[in-house]
Amino acid sequence: MEITNKRVVVTGAASGIGKALCNAFKDSGVDSVVAVDINEEGVSKTAAEIDGHSVVANVAKEEDIKRIIDEANKYSGGIDIYCSNAGISGAPGFIEAKQGDWQNIWEVNVMSHVFAAKNVIPQMLKQGEGYLMNTASAAGLLTQLGSAGYSVTKAAAVSFAEWIKITYGSRGIGVSCLCPQAVRTAMTAQGPGVAGVDGMIEPNVAAEDVIDAIRNNRFLVTPHEEVLEYVKRKAADRDRWIYGMQRLQDNFVEQLSHVKDYQNFKK
C-alpha cells in the first residue's frame, strides 16, 4: 500500500515503537495520524509533535477500541492504516503467575488486536482497501525465556495476524506483523535480557521497517535479520532447536546467579 495521503491510527503511541511509528508516518507524507495510548500526557505530547490527534484509551476494552475508531473517523474522515501496537511485558515466570496476570496480558497483547480487526475491517472492506499492522514480537515466532505469559500471548498475536491475512488478504486488506527482538523502550529499560542476544535496536529502526513492509505488503517485519534464520532452524528440526533453547536458558540462569552473587557481595 502506498502510504502518502493515508489516514493512520497508532496505539501505544506515547513512547517507544508507537511514538516512532507516528513520526515515521508523518515523515512519509500521510494525511493524518491519530495517536492512542492510556498515558494521557505522553500521547498528547506525541500528537502535538506530529500535528496529529490524541485519544486516551485502554485497548484491552472493546468499547474503547470502538471509541478510537469513531474518533478517528470523525477526525480524519476514515481509516486506511490501523497499527495495533500497544502491548505489555506482563508478569514474569509461570508458577508464580496469578490468574489475573494471565487475563491482563491476554487482553492487552491479544484481544486488543482482535477488537481492532473486528471493528475496523468492515469499514475497510466497504472502502475497498485497508491495512492492519499488529505488533507482536520475535518471542511470538520463537519463545521468551522466563516469561510464559509473554511468550504465549505473542505467539497468539502472530497466529491471529496470519489468520486475518489469509481470510481477508484477497479482499483488499493488507496485514503486517512486527516481530523484533530487543528494542530500546520503557519495556527494556532494566536491560534487554536474553532477547538482547543480537543487540538492541532503536524504535525508529523498527518503525522504518514497518513503513517498508506496508509499502511492499510484506507480512513478517523482522528488524533483527537473525530472527528469520532462527525460525528456519526451528522449522527444520524442532527437537534440536528446543535443546538449544534449553542450553541458552541454562546459560542465562547461570549469568543471573553470578549477577546476584556480585550484588550480594557488594552489600
Asked whether 224 and 201 are in contact (CB, 8 A), the reply is: yes
pLDDT band (50, 70, 90) for residue 257? low
Distant-in-sequence, close-in-space partners of 145: CB < 8 Å, separation ≥ 6:
193, 194, 245, 248, 249, 252
Residue entry with cell 508478569? 91
- CATH fold of the domain at 7-226: Rossmann fold (3.40.50)
In whole numbers, what is the pLDDT of the chain averaged over residues?
Answer: 91
Asked whether 164 and 201 are in contact (CB, 8 A), the reply is: no
pLDDT band (50, 70, 90) for residue 267? very low
List b or e across 114-153, with b for residues whose CB sees 16 or more CB atoms inside 10 angstroms.
bbbbebbbeebeeeeebbbbbbbbbbbbbbbbbbbbbbbb
Q: What sign has the CA pseudo-torsion 97, 102, 104, 108?
A: positive
Query: Whole-angstrom Cα distance, residue 51 to residue 54?
Result: 10
Q: Which pLDDT value is given to residue 254? A: 72
As beta bridge partners, residue 182 has none
List b or e across 215-237, with b for residues whose CB sees 16 or more CB atoms inside 10 angstroms.
eeebebbbbbeebeebbeebeee
Closest CA to 231 of 135, 137, 160: 137
Indicate whether 192 pLDDT > 60: no
Q: Which pLDDT value is given to residue 191? A: 53
Indicate whether 231 pLDDT > 70: yes
Q: Which pLDDT value is given to residue 193? A: 55
Q: Which pLDDT value is given to residue 261? A: 39
Mean per-residue pLDDT, 85-90: 94
pLDDT band (50, 70, 90) for residue 251? confident
Indicate whether 264 pLDDT > 50: no
pTM of the model: 0.90
Cell of 31: 494525511
The dihedral over CA atoms of 56, 58, 64, 66, expressed in degrees to the nearest 10, equals 90
